[in-house]
Amino acid sequence: MSNPSLIIETSKLRHNVKTVVKMCKASGIEICAVTKACCAHHKIAEVFAESGAGMLADSRVQNLKQLSSYSVPKMMLRLPMISEADDVVRYCDVSLNSELNTVKALSEAVVKLNKQHGVVIMIELGDLREGIPPEEALTFAEEAIKLPGVNLTGVGVNFNCYGGVIPDEENLNRLADVASNIEEKLGIKLQIISGGNSGSLYLLKENKMPAKINNLRLGESILLGMDTSFQKQIEDLYTDVFTLKAEVIEMKEKPSVPSGNIGLNAFGQKTSYVDNGVIRRVILACGRQDLPCDQLIPNEDGVKYLGSSSDHMILDITQSDKDYAVGDIVTFNLSYGALVGAFTSRYIDKIFI
C-alpha cells in the first residue's frame, strides 16, 4: 500500500445502496446509481449493480463505456455533445436531453448503428442548469417522437446544482403535470419520470414525493450518506464508506504567523493568519494535486486544517492529545469534492476492503 490512499469499505457501500433502494422501492421509485464521483470505478459499479440499482448513470461517455460489461441499462446524465452522439448510442441505453438538434444527431446514430436509444426530456423548473421550459415540453416531445430510432422514454428535472434550488412537492408536481400532459396528448406512456438527484430523497421520508415520480438519480446520498438539500446525514446510512489516509513527513513546533514580507501563496492568493503563538504543526505528503485538501474532514480530535500547496498539507495539532511523529498516518472523512478529487487523482491508491 502506498500513501496517500483511499480506503473503501464495500460492505458499508452495499448497505447504503440496499437501504436506499428499499426505501425508494416502497414508493414505487427505481434508482439510477450515479458512478461519476468515482470515475465509474468497476468495483463501485459492481456494488451498485448487485445491490438493486435499476440503472447505472454517469456524466461521461468514457465512464459509461467502462461499464459495458454490466447488464443493467446505462444512463447518460450530462446532455450529450453532438460530436459524441455515436458513442452515446453505442454505450448508453438512455440519455437526458434538452436540445432537439442533439436528439436528431442521436437519431441518426441510432439508425446508422442499428441500435435502440431512449430520450428523457429535461425540464427547467428553477435551478437553471439544463432543461427546457415546461410549456415547451409537449412540442419537443412531438418533434422527438417523429425522429426514427429514438424512443421518448420520459421526462426529468435537476435541482440542487447551479441555483441550489431545493426540490419540493410544488416543483415536482409541475414535472408530474408535464408528464401527464405529454402522455394524454400523445397517447403514450412515459417509462421514466425522474424527480432529481440525492436532494430529492428527503421527500420520501416526509411522505411528500408526488406519486407520479418513479425514478431518482442518486450519487452523493448512497456514496456519502448525505442529504444534499439540507447537508445532513441520512438516517441509517454510513457517512464513512471512504477514508483518506495521509502520512506525516514533518512534525515541528513553529509560529502560527509567517515572518517576512508577505506576498501571495503557491496559488496566487493573498492569505491571512491568526496569531496563536507557537503551535504544533504537522506536514502531510498529500496536496492539492491529489485532492481539494480543504474539503477533507479530520477524523481525529484536535486536528485543524491550516492550508495546502500542490503536494503538502499543513495541520495544526496543538489541541490534540496525540503525539504525531514522522511516519504516522492521519485519517480523514471525505466531502463530495474531496471524493471526486481522490478518485480522479492517479496519485491516490484506491484500496477496497
**Site for ligand PLP, rule CB under 6 A:** 34, 36, 59, 77, 96, 158, 197-198, 217-221, 228
Beta carbon of residue 180, minimum distance to ligand PLP (angstroms, whole number) = 22
Beta carbon of residue 106, minimum distance to ligand PLP (angstroms, whole number) = 17
User: Rounded CA gap, 64 and 108, in Å?
Assistant: 20
Beta carbon of residue 216, minimum distance to ligand PLP (angstroms, whole number) = 8
Q: Name, in order, each residue with C-beta under 8 angstroms of 116's C-beta and a sequence gap of 6 or more.
A: 93, 110, 149, 151
User: C-alpha grid cell for residue 268?
Assistant: 496566487
Looking at beta carbons only, is 222 or 282 nearer to ligand PLP?
222
Burial class (CB in 10 A: 0-12, 13-18, 19+), 95: buried
Looking at beta carbons only, is 61 or 218 nearer to ligand PLP?
218
Give whole-number Cα distances, 88 to 63, 93, 210, in Å.
Answer: 11, 8, 31
- Catalytic annotation present for 43: no
Q: Which residue is nearest to ligand PLP (CB)?
A: 219
Which residue from 246, 247, 237 is spatially nearest to 326, judged by alpha carbons? 247
Beta carbon of residue 179, minimum distance to ligand PLP (angstroms, whole number) = 17
Kindly name the residue from 18, 36, 104, 208 that is annotated as catalytic: 36
Beta carbon of residue 88, minimum distance to ligand PLP (angstroms, whole number) = 14
Residues 104 and 136 sit within 8 Å (Cβ to Cβ): no
Looking at beta carbons only, is 200 or 320 nearer to ligand PLP?
200
Decide the pairing of beta strands 55-58 and 74-76. Answer: parallel
Which residue from 190, 35, 208 is spatially nearest to 123, judged by alpha carbons? 190
Looking at beta carbons only, is 162 or 273 nearer to ligand PLP?
162
Looking at beta carbons only, is 94 or 286 nearer to ligand PLP?
94
Give catalytic residue positions. 36
